[in-house]
Amino acid sequence: MKPGTVDAPRFVMSPISSRPAPDLSAVFDEHFDYVWATLHRFGVRDADREDLVHEVFLKVHARLDDYDASRPLRPWLFGFAYRVAVHYHRLARHRIEVPGPLDETPAANVPADEAIAALQERELLFSALHTIDFDHRAVLVMHDIDEVPTHEIARVLDIPLNTVYSRLRVGRKLLANAVTKLGIARGGR
């Protein structure tokens, strides 16, 4: 250093998070069912779902180093599943998926008539959900089912926060209308 000069400060770049990126096999084992259910909610056919779950995790693997460990993992995975499902439906727009019942069994201690009524309500809700476009459905599923905060939805889907609120409001109205119409068509309500 020359006399009379000031040594410039040296900046050391710190990583986004001091935690290491999660292990892909651990993420896969822990979140396979979540990604499976998310793709199911987006109307991916049973026959194609396993391949698309693997496609989601291949994309996750390619971007695992970009994951910010200070953020929740599920909304990040939801973003991948959402994009894969949208791409799937664009390529397969000639296919029609008839939503079926969710693959869950009722509790053993619930009376049969209550279990049947609950299953019918779930099927009705699931069918109504599939009548809503992907943009509104994604926000509804993330917020009302997965309980993801609105600011996180905006970040994951890369949309403004006000758009999240708008899609949530409109999506809920669309869902309520679809439930009413399907309920009437099925002879109820």
According to the model, what pLDDT value does residue 106 have? 52
Mean pLDDT score of the chain: 80
Contacts 24+ apart (CB under 8 A), 107-112: none
Q: Which of 180, 88, 189 is nearest to 131 (CA)?
A: 180
Rounded to whole angstroms, the Cα distance separating 2 from 8 reads 13
According to the model, what pLDDT value does residue 183 have? 78
Which residues in the chain come in under a pLDDT of 50? 1, 5-17, 94, 98, 101-102
Is 144 in a helix, a strand, or coil? helix
Contact 59, 87 (CB under 8 A): no
- Cα 173 versus chain centre, distance: 20
Model confidence pTM above 0.75:
no
The string of pLDDT tens digits covering residues 57-103 is: 999 999 988 888 888 899 999 999 999 998 888 875 535 554 554 45
Transcribe 77-126 into DSSP letters. HHHHHHHHHHHHHHHTTT--------S-PPPTTS-HHHHHHHHHHHHHHH
Transcribe 59-79 into DSSP letters. HHHHHGGG--TTS-HHHHHHH
Rg (CA), the chain: 22
**Sole residue written with tokens 């009379």:** 4
Tokens of 105: 């069994």
- Spatial CB neighbours of 148, under 8 Å, sequence gap ≥ 6: 72, 74, 75, 78, 142, 156
Domains of the chain: residue spans and CATH = 21-98 (1.10.1740.10), 106-189 (1.10.10.10)
Using CB atoms within 10 A of its CB, is residue 135 exposed (0-12), middle (13-18) or buried (19+)? middle
Identify the helix (H) or strand (E) that includes residue 51.
Answer: helix 46-63
